[in-house]
Chain A
Amino acid sequence: MREYFRYFKWMYIVLGALVLLFVFLSAGHLALARMFGHDRDNQSCTTTERVFDYGDVLTDEEEEKLRRLIAKREKQTRCDIVLITLQESLKEYAREIEPGVGYDEFVRVYAEQFYEEHNFGYNSPNGDGIVLVDNWYREDDGRIYTWLCTTGRVKDKYSDAAVDHILDNVYRYVEKNPYRAYKTYINDFYHDMLGIQVFTLYVPGYLPWIVGLAAAVIFVVCNRRSKKGDKTTTALTYTGGVQPRFRVRQDRFLRKSVVTRKIQTSSGGRSGGSHGGGGGGSHGGGGHSR
């Protein structure tokens, strides 16, 4: 046993340090949430719902998990956080409200209207908040559009680059795992509003197990010595350490050839800007398409 503890001493010290750090941070995080936590002032909002999965891309369980996460993050950020998924063309709807609006902004019109119709806003109607509209329907131009609509304090806080950053992160996962993509949206928003400049780590639940298993396998392979011994001679062992003598050592250039290849580039779209909403609110944000 003494041999065991002597060998694994550092592993257990690191583990203990991580446990302490985790406990310390959890306590700090709880205190921070209580400090920033504030009851919402807006009593005019027409709904308590935040997850509108009209596109039916989430399971009931996933919707419930997102609702719980949003409730927590809303208190921490003092902003309304709304998620809408759709599976329908917004062409007629959007052009009825804003004639001549482009394909890429149908979702913007929808997002702004939706926000204003329901009087979202944590501090006041059409106040601080954010809404993500992800329309899974492929419009006539063959593309799927997503819009992130920012209002109030969020609009001031969010630059085009910050909007792009969130949408990029959403698009990284949305096709394969919509739940993970929308969870990323909520957590990224929380990080941005609290001004915590950290990279967001996306780790599937099974990854620690895989890493642990890989570490155990590597540990056994490295320590399970099947060799009788190591070769400790080199090419110079029997030359007495004397380097070989070269009568001729020549590298003569013969010819040269150059081959070229065209690099294929991929295309994508972005649109954004600030808009005055139909209901008198002012929204910012931006969109992506896939």
Chain B
Amino acid sequence: MIYKCKNCGGNAVYEPGRGRMYCPHCESKDSEEKIQGGTLTQCINCGAPLETKDYTSASQCGHCGCYIVFSERVEGVYEPHMLLPFHINKKAAVQALNREFSRRLFTPSDFLSEKSLEKMEGIYVPFWLYDYQACYDFTGEGVRIRTWTAGNTEYTERSYFEVVRKMDVEFDKVPVDASYAMEDGIMDLMEPYDYGQLRGFDPKYMSGFYGEVYNQPAAELEGRAKEKSRSASEELLQGSIQGYNTVRPIHRNLDLRKRGDHYALMPVWKYVYRYKGKEYQYHVNGQTGKVIGITPVSMEKVLSYSMSVFAAVTAMCYLAVRVLEIL
């Protein structure tokens, strides 16, 4: 399916900055008209052949530039339960990247170019969101150590306590990406998303972006969600055990019960840049603007900056010593 402008027939897209559908050709707002049909291999707008991958659910025609949402990949069992629309547009994502790179002191000065930033893609990444009820039973022995001195004798007092905790906590929508193309570690670092802006699925939000259908079913990815919930439960439990020098666990049992799962699409800006023969990938959270990715290091900058610090600090120390000597 595609969204066409009722006024000019151009391709209407979702504009994150405005939070509504927009026609970039005649600048009409909310003038979209859904045109159903099309296949995975042929552009519904111009008839040109399309190159889609196994899990592509939205793409752009390389010939006419029209953004296409593939109905068969967003309907039925593939229909997302919810979607988080892009909140920041490409311009804001580029600004976020530039801000982040300027903070990284040793990034080469000639890194990034406006031209290459044009190729940044907005992608709806498939996620499974899991709900859990966690019940944690913990028994341990805590030791408090107190030391004091009287005369020429040092006293060390050890007080032993039985520490018992029975803790209940509910986790809602623990996210796990369901895309082979996206690295798990990077997707984990993209978190958190503001779930307050989650909406029921509407394919119009995908017009203007790329998208994927989930690559793996919920059951296959549940292990990662469990691990995240287990780790959070452990942290919360440890946070409740304070004031001890050591705590020795005697009994611990964490019962994680799944209350449900949801299929959702999350917004990510992806940018790939080749610099001196090496490929660098950056991902920007399409909602919060958080940037994930490694930047190259300029050895020239490392040397000149560190030598400056070395020379200046040495001179400062030397002068400080001389000043104190004079005093």
Residues of A within 8 A of B (CB): 3-4, 7-8, 11-12, 14-15, 18-19, 21-22, 25-26, 29, 196, 198, 201, 203, 207-209, 211-213, 215-217, 219-220, 223-240, 242-263, 265
Please report the C-alpha to C-alpha distance between residue A25 and residue B324 in the assembled complex, in whole angstroms.
Answer: 10
Cα distance A19–B312 in the bound complex, in angstroms: 11
Complex Cα–Cα for A119 and B109 (A): 73
In whole Å, how far is A209's beta carbon from the nearest beta carbon of chain B? 6
Q: For B164, what are the chain A residues with a Cβ–Cβ distance below 8 Å?
A: 248-252
Q: Choose one: B189, B313, B318; the contact of A229 (CB below 8 Å).
A: B189
- Which single residue of chain B is at the shortest CB-CB distance from A19? B319
With A216-B309, A246-B166, A263-B152 already in contact, 17 other A-B pairs whose C-beta atoms are closer than 8 Å: A18-B316, A22-B322, A211-B314, A212-B317, A228-B294, A229-B186, A229-B290, A238-B232, A239-B171, A247-B168, A249-B164, A255-B159, A257-B157, A259-B156, A260-B154, A260-B156, A262-B152
Interface centre among A217, A226, A258 (most CB of B within 10 A): A258
Enumerate chain A residues within 8 angstroms of B168, measured Cβ to Cβ.
244-247
Q: In the complex, are the beta carbons of A208 and B317 less than 8 A apart?
A: yes
CA distance A21 to B105 in the complex (A): 31
A254 touches B291 (CB 8 A): no
**Residues of A close to B163: CB separation below 8 A:** 250-251
Residues of B within 8 A of A208 (CB): 313-315, 317-318, 321
Q: Most A CB atoms within 10 A — which of B172, B290, B312?
A: B312
Binary interface encoding of chain B residues 151-191 relative to chain A, with 1 for a CB under 8 A from any of its CBs, else 0: 01111111111111111111111100000000001101101
| Contact present for B167 and A246 (CB under 8 Å) | yes
Q: Which residue of B lies closest to A253 (CB)?
A: B161
Report if A4-B321 is in contact (Cβ < 8 Å); known contacts: A212-B313, A247-B167: no
Chain A residues whose CB sits within 8 angstroms of the CB of B9 once the complex forms: none
Q: Complex formed: what's the CA distance from A243 to B169 in Å?
A: 8
| Bound CA–CA A153/B174 (angstroms) | 81
Check A257 against B109 for contact (C-beta < 8 Å). Answer: no
Q: How far is the CB of B97 from chain A (nearest CB, A)?
A: 12
Cβ-based interface call for B20 (8 A): no
